[in-house]
Amino acid sequence: MAVTQSTPEAMFIDGKWIESSSAKRIPVYDPSTEEILAEIPDATNSEMDTAIAAARRAFDLDGWPQTTAQERGRILFRIAEKLRAEAPQLAELECRNTGKPIVEAEYDIADAATCFEYYGGLATKVSGTVNPVPDNALSLSLKEPVGVAGQIIPWNYPLLMAAWKLAPALAAGCTCVLKPAEQTPLTALKLAGWLPELGVPPGVVNIVTGFGETAGARIVESPRVDKIAFTGSAAVGKLIMKSAADTLKRVTLELGGKSPNIFFADADFEAAIDGALFGVFINQGEVCSAGSRVLVERSIYSKFVEAMTEKARNIKLGAPLDRETKMGPLVSREQYERVCKYQQLGRSEAKVAIGGGQPAAFKRGYYVEPTIFYDVDNSARIAREEIFGPVATVIPFEDEQDALRIANDTPFGLAAAVWSRDIYKALRMVKAIRAGIVWVNHMQPTYVEAPWGGYKQSGFGRELGLHGIDEYLETKQVHINLNEQPI
């Protein structure tokens, strides 16, 4: 294993830059030009095992869990400060690697910093409880870190997803082996390079690059990893659960969705149209909580589809670094091909209001047209399967009961939104929708203070908020006998 210079084109293991023992490297692309931006190592089992061993040592022997909560909190604040200081270069790198518009990338970096700040503050707020057992004993519940956390993240919000995983784990006193998506590892590696100067000891955070089926699978099967936190596809989530069963690891999964964005006739019409477009087209639709099923009450249905279509015409596709750009290319050729297939399928399953193909204006880059299919039946594949691209399926409904039936008729349950001025109706919907996140008269706002995660096949466990740190903690019951002679 060769140790290279301090470059983000290597892996960060045990505080050092490490190359893969296999000569193979993985090209990382700029999806707007299809050019190679960088090449990263393709980790073998040997490097992954080294990273896991380093995390194990940092947890078991080097005393990371025993550092004071204040110290861990201070380190997280320093990371947040560094992210804010380096935000322009991070946003540019994220933008070039994912294809997302620069303005959206800037929000992501700020959100990542906020996440480290939040968990920096929370580090000192973790405490156990005293249990009300009979008077002859004292019963305590202690909160302790789970151990080594294996963290596998996707490509749609690369640095933000790294922050959602690393910040609560570190605050709790866990050590981490994080595998970024093979398509978008660059900002996580950048962050890794700053960790030593910010006070993160060797082995506490390891960033290992590689493919899911090899490097990712190795983390999941390792008996030396205590917990897996995964964000990605439901298909891989199922594989992870099966594999983790062999070692009975703790598992949290944040998977995909087919979230209903529900518009009643009494909603503020202009806000509703904006909410429908924003809900499904932000980040090119590559969002787990995308409002990809737009449910519209029959009495406003035609007007709604027309207005949505009209406004969608103004979405400016362009170079991700151009500040005027509202939609960039998809992240990879693979994702582009996947979305193009769904566009083709949609043309046979429903009517096209706008889009449905590839824009002629671009000679290069994985651009697809913002697409609105309407008169979609909820049983159509485009209404049931996660597309993860800028493709809206508009579905009419008759009344509240019908809206609810369609909204819940999905294997997923990540998010939903309800638009209405009738607070009683909106709240009835909120209670009856089977999803982990429900927005009213809004779609997509995400706050680090509030729990994030899904029902049904959108996974389980919660990130963010107080719940987010709990997923990295074990509970130990302590019983102290208060009689000199136990009875």
Closest Cα partner for 432 from 464, 459, 409?
Answer: 409
Asked if 182 interacts with ligand TXE (CB under 6 A), we say yes
- Contact with ligand TXE (CB under 6 A) among 84, 338, 347, 434: 338
Q: How many CB atoms lie within 10 A of CB 271?
A: 12
Per CB under 6 A, the segment of 111-119, 232-240, 372-380, 438-446 that binds ligand TXE is 232-240
CB 255 within 8 A of CB 460: no
CB of 357 to ligand TXE, least distance (A): 19
Catalytic residue flag (residue 340): no
CB of 94 to ligand TXE, least distance (A): 15
Q: Which of residues 257-316 bind ligand TXE (CB under 6 A)?
A: 288
Q: Which is nearer to ligand TXE, 263 or 388 (CB)?
A: 388
Asked if 254 interacts with ligand TXE (CB under 6 A), we say yes
Q: Output the CA–CA distances (angstroms, integers) from residue 390 to 148, 282, 357, 442, 479, in the order listed.
A: 37, 8, 11, 18, 55
- Contact with ligand TXE (CB under 6 A) among 35, 213, 324, 377: 213
CB 188 within 8 A of CB 195: no
Catalytic residue flag (residue 254): yes
Q: Which residue has the tokens 């009875």?
A: 487
Q: How many CB atoms lie within 10 A of CB 394?
A: 26
- Contact with ligand TXE (CB under 6 A) among 256, 260, 329, 436: 256
Q: At what angle do helices 400-408 and 423-432 cross, to 10 degrees?
A: 30
Asked if 11 interacts with ligand TXE (CB under 6 A), we say no
Phi-psi region of 343 (alpha: psi -120 to 50; beta: other; left: phi over 0): alpha
d(CA 68, CA 74): 10
| # binding residues, ligand TXE (CB under 6 A) | 27
CB of 303 to ligand TXE, least distance (A): 31
Beta strands in 197-328, from DSSP E residues, in sequence order: 205-207, 227-231, 250-254, 260-263, 293-297
Q: Which is catalytic among the residues 254, 286, 349, 400?
A: 254
Q: Which is nearer to ligand TXE, 78 or 165 (CB)?
A: 165
Q: Which is nearer to ligand TXE, 228 or 417 (CB)?
A: 228
Per CB under 6 A, the segment of 13-21, 23-31, 188-196, 226-234 that binds ligand TXE is 226-234
d(CA 361, CA 395): 30
CB 107 within 8 A of CB 165: no
Six-digit token string for 49: 């095992």
Per-position x/- string for 448-477, each x denoting binding to ligand TXE as judged by CB under 6 A, each - no binding:
------------------------------
Per CB under 6 A, the segment of 23-31, 65-73, 148-156, 274-282 that binds ligand TXE is 148-156
What is the secondary structure of 305-368 as a DSSP string? Answer: HHHHHHHHTT--B--TTSTT-SB---S-HHHHHHHHHHHHHHHHHSEEEE--S--TT-SSS---
Site residues for ligand TXE per CB under 6 A? 152-156, 179, 181-182, 211-213, 216-217, 220, 231-233, 236, 239-240, 254-256, 288, 338, 386, 388
Catalytic residues: 254, 288
